[in-house]
Amino acid sequence: MKKTLFVNLILLLVMAVSVQAQMKKIPLKDFFRNPEKTGYQISPDGKHVSYLAPWENRLNIFIQKIGSKEAVRVTSAKERDIAGYFWKGNDRIVFLQDSGGDENYKLYSVDRNGSNSRLLTPAEKVRAEIVDELEENENEMLITLNQRDPKVFDVYRINLATNEMKMVAENPGNVMNWVTDHDGKLRLAVASDGVNSVLLYRESESDKFKEVFSTNFRDEVSPLFFTFDNKYIYALSNLNRDKLAVVKFDIANGKEIETLYENSDVDVSGMSYSKKRKVLTAISYVKDKRELKFLDETAENRYTKLKDKLGAYEIVITGTNKNEDKFLVRTYSDRSLGAYYFYDEKSGDFYKITDVSPWINEDDMCDMKPVQYTSRDGLTIHGYLTLPKDIDAKSLPVVINPHGGPWYRDSWGYNPEVQFLANRGYAVLQMNFRGSTGYGKVFWEASFKQWGLKMQDDISDGVEWLVKSGIADPKRVAIYGGSYGGYATLAGVTFSPELYACAVDYVGVSNMFTFLKTFPPYWEPFRKMMYEMVGDPEKDSALFVQVSPVFHTDKIKAPLFVAQGKNDPRVNINESDQMVEAMRSRGLEVEYMVKDNEGHGFRNQENRFDFYEAMEKFLEKHLK
């Protein structure tokens, strides 16, 4: 009798714990729905704020007078979210939008009250990019278009009132980037033959550009902006050093003249300045988290005041008016998308505008912990480990999540995919394998021609590290990634089939030959560089056969789920088609999801819901 009562008590306790866990299961859509309000900006006169918010399930632009509760919707996008926008003067908004994920962004403008909506760049299959907003010029701005030649971008001065455009710089065929000075004059260009980069400079717009400095692409001198006297430039440079540093560069004579800051551990990532006061304010870099080195006492004191008000959250000043006395502040953490705040420095007025995703309770989210392990050949691999909340970290099902790029890096902060997976009981490991940016030139170059080889070993070594630590159940490890992470997913189940129970490939590369044949046309100038970094289809054909997953589907043991956007301009749908066909021809288990109105990743909310719902069922089936 006592034994029966004891067993029943244990069962009741187990059921209670199970019910409690079920109660804390957060709806999938809460992770992946559009934010309530985001992308806040402030008008130059400081009288209005603008933001993106859902309308008809798409992010549209709204404008609200500061101090008022009423907002006006000024765009009516129904097919795609507004991709980006900015204020052009106090009474006009300029925004960008593509079609079906094709990344051929068109430029539009609309008045502050929602009237006078105009399509500024109507040409089809042409991509518009911003060179200079020309803040002091009410009606004009500088943009680039690849309408003359889809491979290159020419610079145009466009009149927003009349739609008239005048070419002000014709691309000779090799210019990758155009830079204006503080007066909006086009004075600097960065050209490349695919391997060597060249800085082109002119004293005035009436002069011709001339070559002043040349480097191999392995060495970097990336212009940030001109000095305030428009004589020199500030740049990120790794000349004669491993890590990117901020330098002052004598552009006319092609040489560094001062090093402002360098970090021995990581690359410097950027520098900010005050337009009004004409002073440098802060230098940023990323270790485990973003860090700042202040160059200006006013900016540092402002940041300190805001930190005192906002506590442990990371903060970013996302916008200011022309007088630089009113500020928009964004908070974030690893467990929260944070909130926007308004700060009037002159009056001291400070208040929360909105939470970005108020339906997410950060107390229910999981900590993203910086970690590191050693690769089999001795490199230190940094990453982030997110463990399910309130569960003993032993023998857990795990999702390995390599990032895209591959010349990119994962950083600390709120990641809806990671939080979703952790909420479903999975540990998630993100690693910055060799080639990830931010760790210096040597670490980056260690990835050259190592797709599927040492880069993949770094990922596999992360799995082994988790297993040896006792965190991972070796029989319940999945791999999931997008873009290059999708390639790493396919390579993982192909070249290390013993490690993974299942895999999810999201817009990933499967065939190195076809991938390099289907570049967007404007990537063509980078082809020679890609041949050095990834491989040459002719000279390295044996390597390409070796590391292309599509040629080795006979090695795959794990079930696979593939998701692809039909209009993807970067990773052509053929990459997924041929992988799925090769697997099905061998009778291997593969699920395939294609979205006809998407590109390189799913932007439309309903498509995100479909994808993650399918992923959840797939992982549940094969890992639990």
| 581 class by beta-carbon count within 10 Å (0-12 exposed, 13-18 middle, 19+ buried) | middle
Residue 22 has pLDDT above 90, yes or no: no
Q: Which two tokens stand for residue 297?
A: 């006492």
Q: Looking at the predicted structure, is the pLDDT value of residue 17 above 90?
A: no
Residue 273 has pLDDT above 80, yes or no: yes
d(CA 425, CA 399): 10
Interior/surface letters 478-508, b for 16+ CB within 10 angstroms, e for the rest: bbbbbbbbbbbbbbbbbbbeebbbbbbbbbb
Position 75 scores a pLDDT of 97
Give me the domains of the chain, ranges plus CATH numbers: 120-355 (2.130.10.10), 366-623 (3.40.50.1820)
Q: How confident is the model at residue 21 (pLDDT cuts 50, 70, 90)?
A: very low
User: What's the pLDDT score for residue 525?
Assistant: 86
Residue 593 has pLDDT above 90, yes or no: yes
Q: Is 391 helix (H, G, I), strand (E, B) or coil?
A: coil
pLDDT digits 0-9 by tens, 495-515: 999 999 999 999 999 999 999
Q: What percent of the chain has pLDDT over 70?
A: 96
- Which residues are annotated as catalytic? 483, 568, 600
Task: Tell me the pairing of strands 560-565 and 590-595.
Answer: parallel
pLDDT of residue 11: 41
Cβ neighbors of 348 (< 8 A, separation 6 or more) are none
Mean pLDDT to the nearest integer, 227-253: 97
Residue 524: its pLDDT value, please? Answer: 87
Residue 570, pLDDT score? 93
Predicted confidence (pLDDT) per residue in 520-535, tens digit: 888 888 899 999 999 9
**Helix, strand or coil, per DSSP, at residue 475:** strand
- For residue 427, CA distances in Å to 39, 382, 477, 608 come to 31, 17, 9, 21
Confidence of residue 519 (pLDDT cuts 50, 70, 90): confident
Query: Residue 3: its pLDDT value, please?
Result: 45
pLDDT score of 5:
40
Residue 23 above 80 pLDDT?
no
55 token code pair: 């309308």
Residue 186 is predicted with a pLDDT of 97
- Round the average pLDDT of the chain to a whole number and report it: 94
pLDDT tens digits for 262-272?
999 999 999 99
* pLDDT for res 128: 96
Specify the 3-state DSSP secondary structure of 151. Answer: coil
How much is the pLDDT for 522?
87
Identify the three-state secondary structure at position 554. Answer: helix
pLDDT tens by residue, 158-203 = 999 999 999 999 999 999 999 999 999 999 999 998 899 999 999 9
Which strands sit side by side in the sheet containing 196-201, from one edge to the other?
175-180, 186-192, 196-201, 210-216
> pLDDT value at position 607?
97
What mean pLDDT is predicted for residues 127-135? 96
pLDDT score for 20: 39
Nearest to 295 by CA among 314, 274, 311: 274
Q: Please choose, from the candidates 503, 510, 515, 500, the residue with its C-alpha nearest in 3D space to the C-alpha of residue 548.
A: 510
pLDDT tens readout for residues 281-334: 999 999 999 999 999 999 999 999 999 999 989 999 999 999 999 999 999 999
Distance CA 572, CA 567 (A): 8
Residues 590, 89: Cα–Cα separation, whole Å: 52
pLDDT higher than 80, residue 440: yes
Q: What is the mean pLDDT of residues 108-118?
A: 96
**Omega of the bond leading into 559 within 30 degrees of 0 (cis):** no
- Asked if 528 contacts 516 with a C-beta cutoff of 8 angstroms, the reply is no
pLDDT at 617 over 90: yes
**Mean pLDDT, residues 549-557:** 97
- The β-bridge relationship of strands 186-192 and 196-201 is antiparallel
Higher pLDDT, 67 or 4: 67
Bridging pattern class, strands 326-332 and 339-344:
antiparallel
Percent of the chain with pLDDT over 90: 93
Note the pLDDT tens digit of each residue in 76-106.
999 999 999 999 999 999 999 999 999 999 9
> What pLDDT sits at residue 55?
96
